[in-house]
Amino acid sequence: MLISRLHKRKPILFLLILSIMSVMLIGGTALRPFPEVIPLPNGFQPEGIASGNGSTFFVGSIPTGAIYRGDLRTGEGEVLVPGQDGRMSIGMKFDSRTDLLFVVGGPTGMAFVYDGNTGEDVAAIQLTTEPSFINDVVVTNDAAYFTNSSQAEFYRVPLNNNGELPDPAVSETVPLSGDFQLVAGFNTNGIDATPNGKTLIIVNSALGTLYTVNPESGYASLIDLDGDSVLNGDGILLHGKTLYVVQNFFNQIAVVELSPDLNTGSVDRFITSSYFRIPTTIARFGSSLYAVNARFDITPTSGTEYEVVKVLR
């Protein structure tokens, strides 16, 4: 009787083992770890990076305005938006509500919006005609906000309730006031926002300071870091009460733990990698951060190699 039962169970056991082996063999790519380094096209001269839907990411080219779209899982990708005369690509953000990719244009004083699926032009918005360097962008529920590293102001582009751009898309200039200081060099750089969009956070690269900013009035309050500094702060990313600040020429990411009211904070640790080569901005996927290497310490050529580097949060 016992032998009979075992005999009957053998086909089930065999099928179970076969099923597990099939998953391991056929689905081997799913078990393969995400690559630590993802190469970008030679000579691309990247600066900004943004997470898209799933494991998709976008990286922009400074001198050409081209946009590269890749997959963090496979490391593969291709140019989504070809380079265009008169365009540049610095910081960027993707809005999953609309699949719109918001890209800032540096000294052009413009913002460009693309369809993240097709690469189609959606809008070109003149933020300012004054001497400027539009550097980064964050998208909240009701607006996109753009920083200017050369002026004590930022720009607000209102969005419709569903996240779509109104027609026409308009820009509002918001002066920075309060504790904010404008000094020589690059000032306001990276920007992020609390989940409800009621508070912005910006970094001043030249001073190594962080501020909370009222998005309506532009009033900036210095975040007391208790003597710590985030000098050369570039792209930033807020996750809960943890703020990640890329310190480009220091080849590190400062991890700043903020108080619940965001008024104070301290640098808890630094994330480094032997693969960092002047990282500028970061995007998050799961428990990892992805930093793009801009290699600002060399003279770029058409053969210069660039990459995206994965590090653990």
**Contact assessment for residue 227 and residue 219, using Cβ atoms and an 8 Å cutoff:** no
Instruction: CATH number for 36-312: choose from 2.10.109.10, 3.30.70.1290, 3.30.70.890, 2.120.10.30.
Output: 2.120.10.30
Q: Give the pTM.
A: 0.90
Percent of the chain at pLDDT > 90 equals 89
Q: Is the pLDDT of residue 129 over 50?
A: yes
Arithmetic mean of pLDDT over the chain: 92
Q: Tell me the mean pLDDT in the region 12-41.
A: 63
Chain segment 142-188, per-residue pLDDT in tens? 999 999 999 999 999 999 999 999 999 999 999 999 999 999 999 99
Q: Tell me the mean pLDDT in the region 5-17.
A: 47
Percent of the chain at pLDDT > 70 equals 90
Question: For 81, phi and psi rounded to 5 degrees?
Answer: -120, 115
Burial class (CB in 10 A: 0-12, 13-18, 19+), 226: exposed
- DSSP annotation of 49 reads E
Q: Tell me the mean pLDDT in the region 243-264.
A: 98
Rounded to an integer, what distance in angstroms lies between the CA atom of residue 77 and that of residue 119? 14
Chain segment 88-101, per-residue pLDDT in tens? 999 999 999 999 99
Confidence of residue 31 (pLDDT cuts 50, 70, 90): low
Short-list 195, 227, 193, 197, CA closest to 211: 193
- Residue 290: its pLDDT value, please? 98
**Contact assessment for residue 202 and residue 237, using Cβ atoms and an 8 Å cutoff:** no
Chain segment 49-64, per-residue pLDDT in tens? 999 999 999 999 999 9
Q: Tell me the mean pLDDT in the region 53-78.
A: 98
- Residue 26: its pLDDT value, please? 42
Q: Tell me the mean pLDDT in the region 122-139.
A: 97
What's CA 282's distance to the chain center, in Å?
4
